Structure 1
């Protein structure tokens, strides 16, 4: 009898394995470097005074230092259940990354998703990096890096719109969204579609705190194209503000990048505004990039980013950045980069993510560092 039970148990175990193969992976990256910046400020306020030069140990020169867990279970028929938990930490201090609530941090502040994938595409639910960010990455030679890229230029747009930098919830577009439902279609002749909806969960207000976005992408024959529409309600409200469904966040983006042999060139055009008060918040961003891969391990990229206030022509900025990257191994990357931004009026576009510059003046920044993935 015992032998029969053991045999039956073994059959169940092996049979289950045939239909439900699963795996869990621990992964992450540490990105650290040394930064010089010719001006600085204590905050992202357009009135913040210049506090002088900065020499500092700086986390995230290319991308954030992250760690996480991800897993997949094959449930048969071409379908899989996936989960991902990913958070940011500061490699210089060990502190965790910001959350959507002002001043708060979270262990997994980038992604906490569970979803399903199959022939229909993928569907993920939870806090996650929104589809528009991947579209910007795909159409920027600088790869939406944390130093002088379309990402830092877009963050400059948010700073000009009043983002204080104390949370990840910005007034124009979004880097992450809480409670997000995201569908990603399969590619069809190079074209794909991503749709996002994030319920606000506000009692008595169906649109209170909601977000929705759509991203159309094409990738084929070395050409990447992307079109983005993002719309939000009650974006970045004050701590005591009750969400009421106000439509105050809209972002449009058109981008393209073409790679031919070892050359890459990119351009984009975007508009960010507050539909409920466009006479106060209405910005335009234009970018261009050029890159060359000298060897499989060594490449140089450059980008130009022009940001202007459509309501006040005196407020505008020009940013230029160039960087060199060398792969020491499959897991380790060394980099050096330099950037310059000329801010006019109250504009305070930054060069480096999380490092304020003095508004209305020109600033130079340079950084060397290393990024190791595991």
Structure 2
């Protein structure tokens, strides 16, 4: 009996210890501000399609805008210490619009399903080997772009908004998160992040498509090589996908059968250097659809784009910094289609969790281009546009 009671006591003590070494955290952010934009359009156009007319200029717009810096989010994450330096982890995160309370985009049009956690739903393990996560998550290329952009891939005037334009110009309607070029999020993903060796690390991604009878149907794969040290962040990205954006622009509620076509490729090289509060960044990338090698009539946009970026920033104090960037896009097969966006913004942290921001941007769109200045607010294609945004971001 003493042995039995001793064993029960040991089990209870172990369970108590395991519980003490586990944690669950609720977290979130609210980001909202006032936006003025000198031109606007009903939606992001896909002018490469036959017989598709450009959206006209609907005029200037003044609106309450969610996500001047990043989207408003709510989530929970947890970890359990497994001993020996190993841990089990999970993360659930969804984005929502503070101006109306609606959840933001996920992998299918709203008419075909719903989602609470629109950004991340992962479970995984971490340890001396690195970290591996399973589920819907940010594609590793998204982190690489943010790490090598002075404006940190923010929602206003950054490498993110320029890259999103590459997608819309290639036929992405924005009704789902399945982009035409690269990916911000990927469903069904397995992502491995290695430990850092003298500042060098890798991230590898594979997303099985789960399509019966089609081994490559809907698959995604990517590899990222990173260096971080002595104030320098440098990243190289290769992303490849099959059956990108299964919901076409012409009928966004109808899925396209998987064919296994290799139609989504993105390569990126970027670096950012920071010294005594001063930061400079630059990058080059190319996005294309290998399954559509030419842009013969009636296509007026090729879907094959180069992107060049540059940025400068300075942290004046621990609570105040200014960042600026230039983002240039070019259609490789139609020289008339070019776009250059300029953005500058300042952030002032009034506390550890609350920041005020102000930013202004200008974009020169030529030909059929429609580079946006802020994510989710289309501009009139082929028109020069100015945008001004003031806002508040609070994290908890």
Tell me the TM-score range normalised by the shorter chain. over 0.9
Q: 1:175-190, aligned counterparts within 5 Å?
A: 175-190=184-199
Partner of 1:43: 43
Q: Does 1:339 align with 2:361?
A: yes
Q: Does 1:252 align with 2:267?
A: yes
Distance in 1 separating the partners of 2:327 and 2:5: 67
CA deviations on 1:92-138 (whole Å, 9 max, x unpaired) are 11101111112354210100000000000000000000100000010
Distance in 1 separating the partners of 2:231 and 2:332: 34
Question: Structure 1: where are the runs of 5+ without partners?
Answer: none
Contact 2:201 2:226 in 1 (8 A): yes
Q: 1:180-219, aligned counterparts within 5 Å?
A: 180-219=189-228
Q: Does 1:307 align with 2:361?
A: no
SS at match of 1:294: strand
Partner of 1:80: 87
Partner of 1:110: 119
| Distance change (3 Å), C-alpha of 1:120 and 1:335 | same
Question: Structure 2: where are the runs of 5+ without partners?
Answer: 48-53, 248-253, 295-301
SS at match of 1:43: coil
CA RMSD of aligned residues (A): 1.4
Partner of 2:15: 16
Partner of 1:149: 158
The count of corresponding residues between Structure 1 and Structure 2 is: 373
Partner of 1:265: 280
Q: 1:284-323, aligned counterparts within 5 Å?
A: 284-323=306-345
Structure 1 window deviating more from structure 2 (7-16 vs 281-290): it is 7-16
Contact 1:320 1:339 in 2 (8 A): yes
TM-score, structure 1 as length reference: 0.97
CA deviations on 1:225-246 (whole Å, 9 max, x unpaired) are 0000000000012324210101
Deviation at 1:18, TM superposition (A): 3.8
Partner of 1:362: 384
SS at match of 1:154: helix
CA deviations on 1:29-86 (whole Å, 9 max, x unpaired) are 0000000000000011141111000000000000010000100000111100000000
Structure 1 window deviating more from structure 2 (216-225 vs 13-22): it is 13-22
Contact 2:178 2:246 in 1 (8 A): no
Partner of 2:105: 98
Contact 1:97 1:107 in 2 (8 A): no
Q: 1:227-242, aligned counterparts within 5 Å?
A: 227-238=236-247, 239-242=254-257
Partner of 1:67: 74
Deviation at 1:188, TM superposition (A): 0.4
